[in-house]
Amino acid sequence: MDNSSAGQTAAIESILFVAGEPVSLAHLARAIDADAETARDMVERLMFQYTEEKRGMCIIALEDGYQMCANPEHFTVIQRLYQNVKKKPMTPAVMETLAIIAYLQPVTKARIEEIRGVNADHAVNRLMEYGLVEETDRLDTPGRPIRFGTSQEFLRYFGFSSLSELPGMELEAAAPEENENEERTEEDI
């Protein structure tokens, strides 16, 4: 491999292009045989260069890694190309389940169902199909229930670089008597 700065930068660009998913800074540094700070400088120069040249691709930071993706400025052109390929939009129930997972992760399906008051199998399965949530681990309790958390696809989908960018939650405190006899209808789900 070319160990010059230009060669290492080109190698990083190639790695990010073929990876198709975020690559950690540690892996990039190891691949180009450099320290993390050098690798970070090279990636950030590439990011700047892509932005300055208004390229069709961009590099985004996701948690502790980087990913190459299409420039969001070209979304409408890309959308036109794929206009016949439509994904089903997420239902309010699926979005509600995703919000619970995002803010309480890692969380079990039982806890999600406790909060929502309905079975969460369909919503969790749909979110896993979309790649927005994933299994994180299992509790060390009887039955060893699975805990779920958001994925890196969740970050990409909503344009976050890390979970710390999630908007703050403002909880409304309802009087206990208002919630005690409240029943959920199919429309609420």
User: What count of other Cβ atoms lies within 10 Å of the Cβ of residue 31?
Assistant: 16
Q: Show which of 48, 74, 100 is a domain's final residue.
A: 74
Whether residue 17 contacts residue 69, with contact meaning beta carbons closer than 8 Å, is answered with no
187 falls within a domain = no
80 falls within a domain = no
* CATH number of the domain where residue 55 is located: 1.10.10.10
119 falls within a domain = yes
Concatenated DSSP letters of the chain: ---SHHHHHHHHHHHHHHH-S-EEHHHHHHHTT--HHHHHHHHHHHHHHHHHTT-SEEEEEETTEEEEEE-GGGHHHHHHHTTT--PPPPPHHHHHHHHHHHHH-SEEHHHHHHHHSS--HHHHHHHHHHTSEEEEEE-SSTT--EEEEE-HHHHHHHT-SSGGGSPPP------HHHHHT----GGG-
pLDDT in tens, 137-186: 999 999 899 999 999 889 888 888 888 888 887 655 443 433 333 444 44
Give the C-alpha separation, 100 to 149, whole Å: 10
Give the C-alpha separation, 70 to 183, whole Å: 45
179 falls within a domain = no
pLDDT in tens, 20-71: 888 999 999 999 999 999 999 999 999 999 999 989 999 999 888 899 988 8
pLDDT in tens, 126-135: 999 999 999 9
Q: Which domain holds residue 42?
A: 5-74
Q: Which residue, among 28, 3, 2, 24, has the nearest Cα to 13 in the 3D structure?
A: 28
